[in-house]
Amino acid sequence: MTQKTRSEIPITTLAPAPVVRDTRARPLRELRISVIDRCNFRCTYCMPEDSLQGRGVFLPLVKLLTDHEITDAVRAFVGLGVRKLRITGGEPLVRPGLPGLLSQLSKIEGVEDIAMTSNGVLLPRLATDLAEAGLSRITVSLDSLDQDVLDLMSGRKAKLDEILAGIEAARDAGFRNLKINTVVQRGVNDHTIMDLLSHFRGSGHTVRLIEFMDVGNSNHWKLEQVVPSAEWVERINKVWPIEAASDSRASETARRYRYVDGQGEIGLISSISQPFCGGCSRARLTADGILYTCLFANTGTNLMPLIRQAQDADSLQQKIRDIWERRDDRYSEIRTDLTPSTEKVEMYRMGG
């Protein structure tokens, strides 16, 4: 009798498992899945064009987890308490057949929300398929409305009109409240932020200003390029009064503020100046099956053998449990006490 390979053995039912918590009592609630490490942009804070990685050292497509394998892995995570998924990359929309994968994930019992982060340029072609496949929410990365600044930050790959067209296509497909992620670097794009906020005020979309982070090794991170979120609260409040949203949750990455005049919300992601490690309930799975428990990690655990070759789901689920129960990550809280590492995983590999 020919033995079946892992990809031919469906995982149907997982034994019920109590909620898993790490050493700091943080539950496992969210899984970010990098479905591909390739991208059609070369953003300076993620995959700079002048880095070796930026010139195209990527995983061969045959090394990626298949749709079936990702679905099996997600079932194992859901059995431990995961309820939210975020699809990332690289640029997730360059993965062939992504709507088909999303359709499988959306049918997993226990999955309550599936979001995706994208640069948006392929949304005109795919937004409707994504909505029909069960995608719940979309976040689009847009760092400026100034094309010259976009050229600088994207390796001359981002075109403003294409990104805006992607946002409109998503709206037309039924994604009414998009999040717009903007990485802010002092002296690079900070002078264009108020125009960006003005553009999206009242649109139903939420701009989230992200402090420039020291993820990976290639983005030439400097503390002096970080614009603290508190500075934005002060600057924005002088133009459009804002107030903190009282229903913000501890596990959210963004601190939410409302425009007092009712014209929507903004979010501030303050990993540098106001770390949120204490509420972090996120794990990250790379396109080739590496599990990381922190965005700033320099080591992970290869789950590929268990996902691809194991004969039952329980062994994979137990491995994930063991890893999470040992988790003690709080990099952003102790950043200033650490010796700079040259081993951190690049953002485009881990998925942000």
Condensed to tens digits (0 to 9), the pLDDT of residues 107-143 reads: 999 999 999 999 999 999 999 999 999 999 999 999 9
Q: Is the dihedral of CA 224, 298, 280, 11 positive or negative?
A: positive
Q: Is 110 left (phi over 0), alpha (psi -120 to 50) or beta?
A: left
pLDDT band at 2 (very low <50, low <70, confident <90, very high): very low
pLDDT of 252 over the 80 cut = no
| Superfamily for the 17-350 domain | Aldolase class I (3.20.20.70)
Per-residue confidence (pLDDT) for residue 52, from 0 to 100:
59
Residue 81 contacts residue 20 (beta carbons within 8 Å): yes
Measured from the Cβ of residue 24, the count of other Cβ atoms closer than 10 Å reads: 12
Q: Report the SS3 class of residue 38.
A: coil
Per-residue confidence (pLDDT) for residue 311, from 0 to 100:
63
Per-residue confidence (pLDDT) for residue 225, from 0 to 100:
95
**Mean local confidence (pLDDT), 2-24:** 57
- How far from 340 is each of 221, 226, 243, 275, CA to CA, in Å? 11, 17, 36, 18
pLDDT band at 61 (very low <50, low <70, confident <90, very high): confident
Q: What is the mean pLDDT of the chain?
A: 89
Q: In sequence order, which ranges of 186-312 are alpha helices (DSSP H)?
A: 193-200, 229-239, 304-309
Residue 56's nearest CA partner among 87, 90, 33 is 90
Provide the percentage of residues in the chain whose pLDDT is more than 90. Answer: 71
Residue 97 is which amino acid? G
Per-residue confidence (pLDDT) for residue 183, from 0 to 100:
97
Q: Measured between alpha carbons, how far is 277 from 295 in angstroms, rounded to an integer?
A: 10
Block residue for tokens 């948006």: 120
- How far from 217 is each of 24, 37, 137, 224, CA to CA, in Å? 28, 16, 30, 17
Q: What is the dihedral of CA 28, 179, 59, 103, to 10 degrees?
A: 70
Q: Which pTM value belongs to this model?
A: 0.90
Q: How far apart are the first and last CA of the chain?
A: 44
53-57, 155-159, 219-223 — most confident range: 155-159
Residue 309's nearest CA partner among 66, 87, 103, 95 is 66
Q: Where are the domains of the chain?
A: 17-350
The DSSP code for 7 is G
Q: Measured between alpha carbons, how far is 333 from 84 in angstroms, rounded to an integer?
A: 24
Per-residue confidence (pLDDT) for residue 56, from 0 to 100:
59
- DSSP H or E segment with residue 13: none
Per-residue confidence (pLDDT) for residue 13, from 0 to 100:
46
pLDDT of 277 over the 50 cut = yes
Residues with Cβ < 8 Å from 118, sequence gap 6 or more? 89, 91, 92, 93, 138, 139, 140, 141, 166
pLDDT of 302 over the 80 cut = yes
Over residues 183-227, the pLDDT tens digits come to: 999 999 999 999 999 999 999 999 999 999 888 778 888 989 999
Q: Which residue has the higher pLDDT, 269 or 346?
A: 269
